[in-house]
Amino acid sequence: MDLQAARRLDTAAWHAAARELVPEGRHVIDGDLADSADGARFQRINPATGAPLGEAARGGARDLDRAVASARRAFRSGGWSGLAPRERMAVLYRLARLIENNADRFALLDVLDVGKPVADMLAVDIPMSVDCVQYFAETIDKIEGQVTNTANDALHYVLRQPLGVVGCIVPWNYPLMMAAWKIAPALAAGNTVVLKPAEQSPYAAVLLARLFLEAGGPPGALNVVQGYGAEAGSALAHHMDVDKIAFTGSLAVGKQMMIAAGRSNLKRVTVECGGKSPQIVMADTPDLETAARYAVDGIFGNQGEVCNAGSRLLVQREVHDAFVERFIAIARQRYVPGDPLDPATTMGSLVDAAQQRQVLDYVEIGRSEGANLRLGGGVPESCARGAFVAPTLFTGVTPGMRIAREEIFGPVAGVLAFADADEAVALANDSIYGLAAGIWTRDVTTAHKLARDVEAGVVWVNCFDHGDMTQPWGGYKQSGFGRDKCFETILQHTQTKSVWIHLPD
């Protein structure tokens, strides 16, 4: 069912589809569905209800070996990397259409796997995944080499070639979309791929890989190995025949990717890690109501399980109280946790009980550090069976508090007050992270100066979370390096070769 039709389904239709669903959680290796070599599996439960959802293969080193060997064969055969650019483009265009035409299946899988609202899948994850695959398809014949200016006795040209086998390791917060962000540029550049989805969200990747085959992608060009990070993920990161790891996930695991590369074959690594993004609200913000609405969406959208979540609200003292009042009123109205399969729901459950525990622990930490709990702070009574956390706001947060420094990865925001733009920049930059930042001001000079001085890879002025595929997505500092989306990303999946031809007289 396509996106438009899926948007017309009501709650009863989604529940009926959910009852019918038997999710496919096996690996996809060499174009075939495969169990783990040792037959191991793990269970998934629906975090919104606590009910069993299905099983997935629990991959290990032997499964990784098979998948990498398949990807290597597919690469060397030239069946993908050797296709004429426009033929490779055609496959990825067909894949983009197939994602759109299977919107109901992707929506159901990700909603049941991670608890996010079906409305978000249909408004954000699926359209953005389609855009991503389409965008990178469009870039394929825009990759160019170079002829350099040499003396008459030489012709020197630079080829841009794919890297080989790329391992993509992705998180669970946008299962389909994170997979699309990683596989699309890797495949577009002519590499072959082994994708390791998060153990919390195994299912979308299988459907994606099967649709790639249906689109005409050759077997082995896109493999999926399921399993735990410490097993399948680690085996991929340490594999001697993988040329690059493209990783999105936590800072701690991002560091492990670099260690694994150093310990194995010096494979290339790009890491997109976490964030603690500030939203700076100057007293001269064009419209406090709009700023508060974006601030609410910026932290409570996707249950706050967003790498760039605007979790630090830096508010100039003159408008502090008015901003907080509006923020609370808007949050109460816009984010009421509920059934993720109801298209009217804006806030679902967190990904699992462990994540819920982590977020609730941070609420306790905030309280014990002396911050003022102004909204939420617990499990909503109506949703006690699932891994829900109510939208939560602390005021009176100071820079040294753990809730101001650590990534909570849930619906918890803290307000820090500041006196002037210099203090705002100092507070914004007082973080190991630097993924994104929002700036609210009507003064063009302040806007440009703050945009220049804030240490973040993505800066929004008088909006938050806007963007399209042209936008380089990635961090400063320990939010990582390398970029997603944007043209630069496809180049990160290539390497240059210098060809020097001697032309004797």
Kindly list the residues in this chain that would bind ligand NAD in the complex (CB under 6 A): 169-173, 178, 196, 198-199, 229-230, 233-234, 237, 248-250, 253, 256, 272-275, 307, 407, 409, 435, 480, 484
Q: Which of 110, 68, 71, 98 is nearest to 197 (CA)?
A: 110
Report the residue number, 140 or 408, with the smaller CB distance to ligand NAD.
Answer: 408
Least distance to ligand NAD, CB of residue 126, Å: 17
Report the residue number, 197 or 338, with the smaller CB distance to ligand NAD.
Answer: 197
Catalytic residue, from 100, 272, 305, 407: name it: 272
- Contact between 443 and 421 (Cβ < 8 Å): no
Least distance to ligand NAD, CB of residue 231, Å: 9
CA angle 190/86/146 to nearest 5° reads 65
272 is known as an active-site residue: yes
Report the residue number, 238 or 374, with the smaller CB distance to ligand NAD.
Answer: 238
Q: Which of 449, 402, 377 is nearest to 276 (CA)?
A: 402
Report the residue number, 172 or 394, with the smaller CB distance to ligand NAD.
Answer: 172
Least distance to ligand NAD, CB of residue 493, Å: 16
DSSP code string of 395-454: ES--TTSHHHHS---SSEEEEEEESSHHHHHHHHHSSSEESEEEEE-S-HHHHHHHHHHS
Least distance to ligand NAD, CB of residue 245, Å: 8
Q: Which of 328, 276, 264 is nearest to 438 (CA)?
A: 276
| Cα gap 139→52, rounded to integer Å | 42
| Cα gap 334→446, rounded to integer Å | 30
Least distance to ligand NAD, CB of residue 306, Å: 7
| Cα gap 177→179, rounded to integer Å | 5
Least distance to ligand NAD, CB of residue 486, Å: 12
- Contact between 390 and 351 (Cβ < 8 Å): no
Q: What is the 3-state secondary structure (H, E, C) of 162-215?
A: ECCEEEEECCCCCHHHHHHHHHHHHHHCCCEEEEECCCCCCHHHHHHHHHHHHC
Neighbours of 443 (CB within 10 A): 14
Strand-pair category, 480-481 with 268-272 = antiparallel
Least distance to ligand NAD, CB of residue 10, Å: 30
Report the residue number, 104 or 352, with the smaller CB distance to ligand NAD.
Answer: 352
Report the residue number, 168 or 215, with the smaller CB distance to ligand NAD.
Answer: 168
Q: What are 118's two structure tokens?
A: 């079906």
Report the residue number, 17 or 486, with the smaller CB distance to ligand NAD.
Answer: 486
- Contact between 94 and 185 (Cβ < 8 Å): no
383 is known as an active-site residue: no
The CA–CA distances, whole Å, from 286 to 204, 329, 330, 480 equal 41, 19, 18, 32
Least distance to ligand NAD, CB of residue 225, Å: 10
Report the residue number, 97 or 477, with the smaller CB distance to ligand NAD.
Answer: 477
Catalytic residue, from 132, 307, 383, 486: name it: 307
Q: Which of 43, 44, 21, 66 is nearest to 207 (CA)?
A: 21
Residues with catalytic function: 272, 307
